[in-house]
Structure 1
Amino acid sequence: MDLLKKNVGKVDRVVRIIIGILLIGNIFYGLQSPVGWIGLILLLTGLFATCPLYSALSLDTRSTSEKVGLK
């Protein structure tokens, strides 16, 4: 099991980045809850296209063309 293998697809990455930014913003402007720090995890996994939890569960949300390197 390779924990740093790319396993997050394009749509999944965009969703993670958007939700991550929103949660991080809530730390400073909105709810001011420590739960917002989860956004940092989402942002990093979205930016690096790798999710250790997906690796542990043998999940991969990349499309076939992303796996081959066409996209």
Structure 2
Amino acid sequence: MIKNVGKTDRNLRFAVAGALVLAATLGGLDQTTSIILSVLGLVALGTAFVGFCPAYTVFKINTNKDGDA
């Protein structure tokens, strides 16, 4: 698995993941919305952690310039 998520992209994904999970747990939302936000947050966290995004492969996107991830 070749890393296709660069350093800035990873940091942004970590921030978005944190915001989504925080909103899901503290937002006072209904259960369905909370679950959806949690899942999206965990997906963002997972792709940031491993440095690979399957959607980027499909669309031939690579933000990992010069192996910075």
User: For 1:21-60, what aligned pairs fall within 5 Å after superposition?
Assistant: 21-32=18-29, 33=33, 34-36=35-37, 37-60=39-62
Gaps of 5+ in 2: none
Moved over 3 A (4+): none
Gaps of 5+ in 1: none
The AA in structure 2 aligned to 1:40 is L
Deviates more, 1:26-35 or 1:49-58: 26-35
Q: TM-score, normalised by structure 2?
A: 0.80
1:35 is displaced (CA, Å) by 3.0
1:54 is displaced (CA, Å) by 0.4
Identity between Structure 1 and Structure 2 (%): 28
1:31 is displaced (CA, Å) by 4.6
Q: TM-score, normalised by structure 1?
A: 0.78
1:14 aligns with 2:19: no
The AA in structure 1 aligned to 2:40 is I
Instruction: Provide the C-alpha distance between the structure 2 equivalents of 1:14 and 1:5, rounded to a whole number of angstroms.
Output: 18
Larger helix proportion of the pair: 2
